[in-house]
Amino acid sequence: MSTATLPVPVIFNHSAAIDDFVATALLLSMPNVELKGIVVTNADCVADPAMEVSWMVHQFFGLEHIPLTLSNARGWNAFPWEYRSDCIRMAGIDILKPFSKNVQWPPYPSGEDMLVDLLRAAIRDQRPVKILATGPITAVTNVVKADKSLLAGIGEIIWMGGAIDVPGNLDPKSIPLQIANTHAEWNAFWDPTAVADMFELFSKVRIFPLDITDKARITPGFIASLKAQQQYPYSDFVYQAYALVTDEPFYEMWNTCATTYLAGRDDIFAPPELAVLSMEQYGFEQGWIQRSAGKGSQQEIYLDLASPQNFYDYILQQLKK
């Protein structure tokens, strides 16, 4: 088999939010993707229950052969506990009850060690990996900053984060008013310095900010369609997962939206904007990503869906497994 027809090797770096597990189901439904490993960042989750439910999901999808690891990355601004506890609720859905936590943990395998190993293998095999990051990017930037030669193993980064022309999602009901600026999105706010490092280290990062995910809501129609195809295990899994948050109108398909890019469907996303971006790292506005008039690497910002209907239809079709 030629390298042109091989599935694309992907490393998934997430933070064990409910939508991350939905994104996992979507990722596994793609025949053009080869999942090489998962790194969980203790950001929008709580590390121990996050790893436990991640292992349960691993068993459900038959992924025991895929490395599941925990990053040692530490953030600047912690997610609210109310958000982080979703991973605990996720472990209670009916479809996961037959599965148990990994009794050999902790300690957990190192996400950074796995990233180094997989990137070195990618360089050796001349098959650069795509990194899908739906949480903070810190684990990736820390590894690459420590060894710049690993850059050669990364073919592309797809990152869900930031807010460009829309308000951020820091809720003053969940954090002090003194830090709840209106521009920051949580994956960027957790570690603004890592985002600044990403802009410096990489060009053409495919960024999926709130501008586009605000248009990827969990609509009543989508939930009804999921429920109608619960005979498929993937659909039943996603339906039960999203049932945990259907009463939360702010909840979006943040990570699932970014994951959909890997489908390679030109009819789902509008063409991206190319722009140099800067990150505010300190003060009240930290976490604010802005277009920059200065020099630097251009990034690819996906701001709109070409067809919301195609987006929902694609996901529903993929989940008929």
CATH at 129: 3.90.245.10
pLDDT band at 94 (very low <50, low <70, confident <90, very high): very high
What average pLDDT does this structure show over 249-265?
A: 94
Give me the helix-helix angle, 18-28 and 47-60, nearest 10°. Answer: 30
- 71 phi, psi to nearest 5 deg: -75, 150
The residue type at 320: K
CA distance 164 to 185: 10
CA distance 213 to 9: 25
pLDDT at position 184: 98
C-beta of residue 12 within 8 angstroms of C-beta of residue 117:
no
pLDDT digits (tens, 9 = 90+) for 130-148: 999 999 999 999 999 999 9
C-beta of residue 144 within 8 angstroms of C-beta of residue 195:
no
Cα distance from N-terminal residue to C-terminal residue, the chain: 26
Inside any domain, residue 312:
yes
pLDDT band at 6 (very low <50, low <70, confident <90, very high): confident
Tally of structural domains, the chain: 1
Inside any domain, residue 251:
yes
From the list 5, 242, 254, 44, the residue with the least C-alpha distance to 138 is 44
pLDDT higher than threshold 90 for residue 247: no
pLDDT band at 104 (very low <50, low <70, confident <90, very high): confident
Inside any domain, residue 226:
yes
pLDDT higher than threshold 60 for residue 1: no
User: Would you mind telling me the total number of residues written for the chain in this entry?
Assistant: 321
Inside any domain, residue 104:
yes
Give counts: helices (H), strands (E), the chain: 13, 9
Q: Which residue has the tokens 């790893």?
A: 51
pLDDT higher than threshold 90 for residue 296: no
pLDDT higher than threshold 80 for residue 70: yes
C-beta of residue 72 within 8 angstroms of C-beta of residue 112:
yes
CA distance 300 to 85: 32
What average pLDDT does this structure show over 184-195?
A: 98
pLDDT digits (tens, 9 = 90+) for 150-183: 999 999 999 999 999 999 999 999 999 999 999 9
Inside any domain, residue 141:
yes
Cβ partners under 8 Å of residue 117, min gap 6: none
Range of the domain at 294: 8-318
pLDDT higher than threshold 60 for residue 73: yes
Alpha helix segments (H runs only) across 80-185? 81-84, 86-90, 111-125, 138-146
CA distance 245 to 89: 10
pLDDT at position 211: 98
Model pTM score: 0.96
Burial class (CB in 10 A: 0-12, 13-18, 19+), 57: buried
Inside any domain, residue 188:
yes
pLDDT at position 283: 94
Inside any domain, residue 3:
no
From the list 132, 61, 60, 48, the residue with the least C-alpha distance to 100 is 60
What average pLDDT does this structure show over 269-288?
A: 96
What average pLDDT does this structure show over 223-233?
A: 97
- Of residues 17 and 2, the one with the higher pLDDT is 17
CA distance 154 to 121: 11
From the list 135, 318, 133, the residue with the least C-alpha distance to 237 is 318
Inside any domain, residue 1:
no
pLDDT at position 4: 57
